[in-house]
Amino acid sequence: MKFIKITLTLSLSIILQNLPLAVEAQTPPLFPPSVTEMTFSNPTKYCFYQGELGGDRTDLSGDLKQITLKYRLIVPPEDQDKPKNIFVAFRRYSIPDVLWLFGLKNSGPEWVQYDPKQPPVVYPINRSYSPFTELDIISKPTDLTQFKLDGEVFVGYGLKANDNAATSSTDSFQEMIEHKRFKRIWLVDGSSPKLFGTLFCIPFTTLNAIDYGF
């Protein structure tokens, strides 16, 4: 299997617990991947839209019964290396004072109603941020028909005072609001194109083909 990417990091962890093995476990040999560099005579570019609607939907179908939603948050250069929290929210245009945030609660990731008296939940990402961060906002096909032209999805990020995981999300949420980084990315609408938002292009002249042999 080959992965063609500019940069790729592979982490593999195998944990064995409470297994009564009759023989000593042997670690299989690990072979380094083969890397083939491809250089193009003329500069080319990889382009993508920020937003993508999926599920059983076809472009401009008008059907909101099986919707998935992905979004790529673009972080400007001045904030890329700073600790931050990402916030993903949903509200009804007809009820603007009620906001739902997607984040980790008691039993895992879920939509949680925002309470100004409580720290807001943060979108769960267990990796470092890159210039663009992919957000899987609605991962399972969901019927959004009841929210047509009324549901709104917001995405933004707020800077943290430091990289301490225990730092309250309240400060970063307010920092995001004050700097106007909390923006509506999609109005639930069946006539929305499958790909939406800003079109970004990454120019390059070299690619690495990394073959891991599996």
Report d(CA 75, CA 85) in Å as an integer: 12
Is the pLDDT at 28 greater than 90? The verdict is no
**Neighbour count for residue 49 (Cβ, 10 Å):** 15
pLDDT confidence of residue 127: 58
Radius of gyration (C-alpha) of the chain in whole angstroms: 21
- In the block, residue with structure tokens 């890397």: 35
**Neighbour count for residue 192 (Cβ, 10 Å):** 18
Report d(CA 19, CA 11) in Å as an integer: 23
The rounded Cα 182 to chain-centroid distance in angstroms is 15
Report d(CA 83, CA 196) in Å as an integer: 28
The answer to whether residues 190 and 120 touch, using CB atoms and an 8 Å cutoff, is no
Report d(CA 139, CA 68) in Å as an integer: 6
pLDDT confidence of residue 11: 27
Instruction: Indicate left, alpha or beta for 26 from its phi (over 0: left) and psi (-120 to 50: alpha).
Output: beta
Q: What is the mean pLDDT of residues 32-46?
A: 86
- For 89-141, the pLDDT digits (tens) are 999 999 999 999 999 887 778 899 999 999 999 998 755 567 889 999 998 99
Could you tell me what percent of the chain has a pLDDT over 70? 78
Is the pLDDT at 49 greater than 90? The verdict is yes
Indicate yes or no: pTM above 0.85. Answer: no
Averaged pLDDT of the chain: 80
Contacts of 39 (CB under 8 A, 6+ apart): 205, 206
